[in-house]
Structures are given as C-alpha cells and as structure tokens.
Amino acid sequence: IINGPAEDEGALDAFVSIVTGPPGPNPTSLMQNISLPVLILWGDRDPFTPLDGPVGRYFASLPSRLPNVNLFVLEGVGHCPHDDRPDLVHEKLLPWLDALPET
C-alpha cells in the first residue's frame, strides 16, 4: 500500500516537505479546545505511530478524559486503516456517524 504511491511522480518531494516542514501545532494543545465529536481509528499494527508509543498512548487516553472522543483500535491494521481495511473502517465509522446528533 505504501510502496505503490511512493513511486508516483512527486512522491519524494511530498515526503521531503512533510519531514522538513514546520511541525504545526501540538495535538495536546488542540484537543482540549475541540467540543465536536471526534472519532479516532487506530491500527494495532501501526509501525509509525504504535499504540504503545507516546503519541498512541496520548490518543488512547483521550476517551477517558474527553467525553466527545471515541477510539476504536482496529486489529491487524496498520498506519492507514482506510487503505488496509476499508470494510472495517466503514463498520466503525457509519454507526458512529448515524449516532451523531442532528444539527
């Protein structure tokens, strides 16, 4: 899944801009300000941001601290759940969307 897009024209430039660009805001400073519902889908086989790493632990802790956050850990799924297992993503996403209050 990663190797194919990595061979696309411009992929190297895109990757370099990601790793050399400004880091942007820290999620810890943003999450406290989000009042809308948040769904986190995390692959348990993510090699880049593993659930037991610092970023994974932070996001895994959010549902117990913020009532608007839901987390689903997807078994056997890597860094891109929507690519690895779109069926499983839909299985979690669609009921979550259906349960949202109407605006």
pLDDT along the chain (103 residues), means of 10: 74 86 88 95 96 96 96 96 96 97 84
| Residue written as token pair 């519902």 | 37
pLDDT of residue 24: 86
pLDDT of residue 2: 61
Return the CATH architecture of domain 26-99: 3-Layer(aba) Sandwich (3.40)
Closest C-alpha among 46, 37, 100 to residue 69: 37
pTM (predicted TM-score)? 0.80
63: left (phi over 0), alpha (psi -120 to 50) or beta: alpha
How far is 42 from 49, CA to CA, in rounded Å? 9
How far is 56 from 50, CA to CA, in rounded Å? 6
Q: Which residues of 53-80 are buried (b: 16+ CB within 10 A; e: fewer)?
A: eeebeebeebeeeeeebbbbebeebbbb
pLDDT of residue 1: 55
- Coil, strand or helix: which one is 93? helix
pLDDT of residue 87: 97
pLDDT of residue 80: 92
